[in-house]
Structure 1
Amino acid sequence: MTTERRVPPTTADERTMLEGWLEFHRQTLAWKCEGLTDEQLRTASVEPSDLSLLGLVRHMADVERSWFRRVLAGEDAAPIHYSDEDRDGEFHLTDTDTWQDARTTWQEEIAAARRIAAGFGLDDISKGAHRRTGERFNLRWIYTHMIEEYARHNGHADLIRERIDGATGD
């Protein structure tokens, strides 16, 4: 499968632009993982870090779930890969964790995020609140934060991928 990244239109309205850049960054992470084996996807960036491409995809599944299901929609959706006992559980891989499972879960959370966001305007306030601060957010803030979150982790993915097989790219 070849991931096709679509650059958002340069003259779109605000919502189209925000959704376009979020999709672009989602596609970028998928692209960075493309063509690698499960073993390569488990490769940590550099010791002692547990940061890997597989861990980043698992992390982003939890981030999608947190911001769109728990905060925006107010759902009682438990974390997927981490817990109170293991706050970085998404990066602590076991022998049974696979790319196929991680990708499927991530794509399911992205689909849920799209479906939920479609029911909100950019200025609509979330039904749920941040788990630590209790703050509520409008959809515009959530989209902007998600773009930032993916952009930051895509930078990590660039470096990890280059370490694995020398592949580079924007």
Structure 2
Amino acid sequence: MIRTEPPFDGGEREQLTGFLDFLREAVVLKCAGLTDEQARRSLVPSGLTTIAGLVGHLTYVEHYWFEAVLDGRPNRWAEKLDADRDADFREALTVPLAGLVAGYRAQCETSRAIAAKLEPDTLVSFRDGAINLRYVLIHMVEETGRHAGHLDLLRELTDGRTGE
């Protein structure tokens, strides 16, 4: 799989979604060829930051920001996360990596469909105010990029693989 480069000269939407998709593809690439055991291996002191855990977490944040916040659907993780703030990381340790990646890809498709219906400055209710698609896209570029960097390090520690 070769990542699709974000457009160099696109409009705001095209560049924001292009960079987000570029990073989403990096997440999937970092999982390619790993066994379930490798994906679940804890390589840092917290024990929760695993390849599987990061994919589970990124699937959750895609759901939260696009489905729950922007589209007004129920947050299906609310109760689990109220009981255990790391439930998305922990639960991922029980799912085969192929299922995690497929779930992540499907969630990203849902996120894309929701984003496509909104203009970047469309406001939706959020907490005690409002939020727009632009904020969510920028935040998701930051969130996905940060965790793709974590995946880079975990992958190198797992089997020495580096690069894209």
Alpha-carbon RMSD = 1.9
Deviation at 1:134, TM superposition (A): 3.5
Greater share of strand: 2
For normalisation by structure 1, the TM-score amounts to 0.89
Cα 1:58–1:80, aligned 2, differ >3 Å: closer, same or farther? farther
Match of 1:89 in 2: 87
- 1:40-79 equivalence runs, <5 A: 40-79=38-77
Measure the CA separation in 1 of the matches of 2:106 and 2:40: 21
Deviations 1:94-116 (A, max 9, x none): 77421122122212211111111
* Residue 144 of structure 1 pairs with residue 163 of structure 2: no
Measure the CA separation in 2 of the matches of 1:98 and 1:35: 13
SS at 2:83 equivalent: coil
Would you say how many aligned residue pairs link Structure 1 and Structure 2? 164
Match of 2:149 in 1: 155
Match of 1:111 in 2: 109
Deviation at 1:118, TM superposition (A): 0.9
In structure 1, runs of 5+ residues without a counterpart are none
SS at 2:42 equivalent: coil
SS at 1:83 equivalent: helix
Cα 1:143–1:94, aligned 2, differ >3 Å: closer, same or farther? closer
Contact 1:81-1:90 within 8 A present in 2 as well: no
SS at 1:18 equivalent: helix
Deviating beyond 3 angstroms after TM superposition, the runs of 4 or more aligned structure 1 residues are 93-96
Measure the CA separation in 1 of the matches of 2:41 and 2:110: 29
SS at 1:161 equivalent: helix
Measure the CA separation in 2 of the matches of 1:114 and 1:157: 22
Match of 1:165 in 2: 159
Cα 1:153–1:135, aligned 2, differ >3 Å: closer, same or farther? farther
Deviations 1:67-116 (A, max 9, x none): 00010011113118942111101222577421122122212211111111
For normalisation by structure 2, the TM-score amounts to 0.92
Contact 2:48-2:89 within 8 A present in 1 as well: yes
Measure the CA separation in 1 of the matches of 2:158 and 2:79: 24
Greater share of helix: 2
Measure the CA separation in 1 of the matches of 2:63 and 2:140: 11
